[in-house]
Amino acid sequence: MTSVGEVKLALEQSCEYLRDAYRSVREAQSALDEAIGILLDASAQHHESLVPAGFVAAGEKFADELELIVGSLELVQRLAVEL
């Protein structure tokens, strides 16, 4: 049988993982933005854009992913408090 303390510990660990995931997604977003900026600058010397369409599509999904992580973190924290 699992104790309430063990569940709280697991929830705290989940919160840490979610915080790590948030930081990682933000870093990935920043790196992608930087790459797109570099490619846009380089595109000025070409007849067509060097930015892959997939980069733009990926960039548009970051906000949704961050929102999902934050929402999940809030739910896990609320559950931990209620225990």
Q: What is the pLDDT of residues 2-23, one digit of tens each?
A: 788 899 999 999 999 999 999 9
**pLDDT (tens digit, 9 = 90+) per residue, 25-78?**
999 999 999 999 999 999 989 889 999 989 989 999 999 999 999 999 999 999
What's the pTM value of the predicted model, to 2 decimals? 0.84
Residue 83 is predicted with a pLDDT of 85
Residue 1 DSSP class? -
Residue 2 is predicted with a pLDDT of 79
